[in-house]
Amino acid sequence: MTSSVILSSVTFVYGLAGFLYIFAWVFRKPAVGRLGTGAALLGLAGNTGGFFLRWAESYQLGFGRAPLSNLYESLVFFALCIALVYLVVERRTGNRTIGAVSMPLAFLAMAYASLSPDMSDRIQPLIPALKSNWLIAHVVTCFIGYAAFAVAFGVSLMYLFKRRGEAASAGAMPPVETLDELTHQLVVFGFLFLSAGIITGAVWANSAWGRYWGWDPKETWSLVTWFVYATLLHARLTRGWRGRRIAYLSILGFAAVLFTYFGVNLLPGLHSYQSMGQ
């Protein structure tokens, strides 16, 4: 069985997990929520196994490399990180309703990777500029940060829904104070990893292209994203912002993450996945 087959199957397992979490939340069925956790764990195991199998397959092809260099592989790793971060949050909070907004994000990432007709899952050798140990450090730190921001985005949506309080299902969510604090904690965690990702990217750029920063579209939008989350943290620390304003900034920040990740591929630049040989 190839990694592509395993990862395609993971798409449906994540979809099942998201469905079970939503069902358990809406209909107040804790037993179904536990099934959702089981499905999420199974999906994470398959995602991790498929990731490392793809790594091994690259060695079998004679050019071993970490599977982190094109859009397909980055989506696979993004989904893995989202599932991992969410399951840690579930473990810490003991509340499964957050899975109703987090696991669908992992499913969408895998669905785009596995089901899009424009996506190639071929394992290809790295272009010379990417042949560096900094590749792993840069991509891993960035995507752990992205995953934390994705879960924070889901928690922020849940916070806004809970504040409206118009649906009976809102009662199954954690208290608004818990959701607000969880958003803050996830943003702090993600911000630290995004900062590490920008720094390792700068060091890598210097070794590859002889400069630390070149205002490439990806670099520019990574900085924009960093400033959005820095504004959120600064406003909370110095201005005492809480609640809706933090939730809206979290949502805005994730929109910046998505544009940094996907939107810049529409622009010419060294970081475009097209230029990396997707």
Residues 200 and 113 in one domain: no
- Cβ atoms of 225 and 253 closer than 8 Å: yes
CA gap 98, 21 in Å, rounded: 8
- Determine how many CB atoms are found less than 10 A away from the CB of residue 155: 29
Decide which of 124, 154, 176 is a domain's last residue: 124
Query: Alpha helices, DSSP H only, in 61-175?
Result: 71-93, 99-115, 134-164
Residue-number span of the structural domain to which 59 is assigned: 1-124
Residues 120 and 14 in one domain: yes
User: Which one-letter amino acid corresponds to residue 89?
Assistant: V
User: Rounded to two decimals, what is the model's pTM?
Assistant: 0.92
CA gap 138, 163 in Å, rounded: 37
Residues 87 and 133 in one domain: no
Residues 46 and 158 in one domain: no
Residues 102 and 176 in one domain: no
φ/ψ (deg, to 5) at 266:
-85, -10
Residues 163 and 31 in one domain: no
Residues 143 and 24 in one domain: no
Tokens encoding 226: 């960093």
Residues 151 and 253 in one domain: yes
Decide which of 68, 99, 124 is a domain's last residue: 124
pLDDT tens, N- to C-terminus, the chain (278 residues): 899 999 999 999 999 999 999 999 999 999 999 999 999 999 999 999 999 999 999 999 988 899 998 899 999 999 999 999 999 999 999 999 999 999 999 999 999 998 887 788 889 888 776 778 888 999 999 999 999 999 999 999 999 998 887 555 666 788 999 999 999 999 999 999 999 999 999 998 888 777 888 878 888 899 999 999 999 999 999 988 999 999 999 999 999 999 999 877 665 555 555 444 44
Residues 145 and 211 in one domain: yes
Decide which of 93, 124, 155 is a domain's last residue: 124
